[in-house]
Homo-oligomer: A and B are copies of this chain.
């Protein structure tokens, strides 16, 4: 039934490759099928002006899409002179999601800057970004501890995200572009390793949707995130083993 022949509860092939940038403290190339996002985590020994002297750190994110990440070329935001509302909405979501699982006091007065750059887009770029960003952040902070810059691990929990939607009146997990552009409704679910909700954004695209439909989307998201948590742990462990 799905254009990709997946079952309703099946993720696309997901890979999380670390160590893909020679300079960044942490990095991860995350793929959900044809969607590919290059994430770097940069650690700077300062915080934004409004946070100075509070003895706490900050985690923030920026998001961008290469002009030809998509089927037809989009406008380069740097050339247009501003980020679209969509871009700003996504980068705010990524930042909130990561901060939800970091003890900012334990981080100390330093900043983790996450850059998510979409190399190829086939739906689900924001949830892939969050999933990969946690890996990039964790490897960066592990690196800092290995270097003796930090003593404690400020990461409190895992966080991962996945989209779900109602396609041809069936709730399905992990929409690709073809599904996403025809879905009746879709939602992005950001969940923690311990099972709590960080963020839910669910929207009726072609029609309103019912409470039972929403409940099924939620259930699919929990299934998907459980797989993603295992992949994240494996990726961070592999990076540590190098």
Instruction: Please list the residues of chain A having a beta carbon within 8 angstroms of any beta carbon in chain B.
Output: 21-24, 27, 34, 38, 40, 42, 44, 62, 64, 66-73, 76-83, 85-89, 91-92, 96, 100, 113, 115, 117, 119-120, 122, 157, 185, 187, 192, 194-204, 207-211, 214, 218
Say how many copies of this protein the assembly contains: 6
Closest residue of B by beta carbon distance from A39:
B68
Give the distance in Å from the alpha carbon of A149 to the alpha carbon of B113 in the complex. Answer: 42
In the complex, which residues of chain B have a beta carbon less than 8 angstroms from the beta carbon of A199?
201-204
Closest residue of B by beta carbon distance from A100:
B204
Give the distance in Å from the alpha carbon of A80 to the alpha carbon of B77 in the complex. Answer: 10
In the complex, which residues of chain B have a beta carbon less than 8 angstroms from the beta carbon of A22?
34, 120, 122
Give the distance in Å from the alpha carbon of A211 to the alpha carbon of B200 in the complex. Answer: 11
Give me 18 A-to-B residue pairs in the complex whose CB atoms sit less than 8 angstroms apart, sorted by A's number.
A23-B69, A40-B66, A40-B73, A42-B72, A44-B73, A64-B78, A68-B115, A78-B82, A78-B83, A85-B92, A96-B203, A117-B117, A197-B208, A197-B214, A199-B202, A200-B200, A200-B201, A201-B201
Closest residue of B by beta carbon distance from A188:
B201
Minimum C-beta distance from A51 to chain B (A):
17
Q: Which of B23, B92, B117, B203 contacts A89 (CB 8 A)?
A: B92
In the complex, which residues of chain B have a beta carbon less than 8 angstroms from the beta carbon of A197?
185, 202, 204, 208-211, 214
Nearest 10 A/B pairs, CB to CB: A196-B208, A85-B88, A77-B78, A40-B68, A42-B73, A78-B78, A200-B202, A24-B68, A89-B89, A199-B203
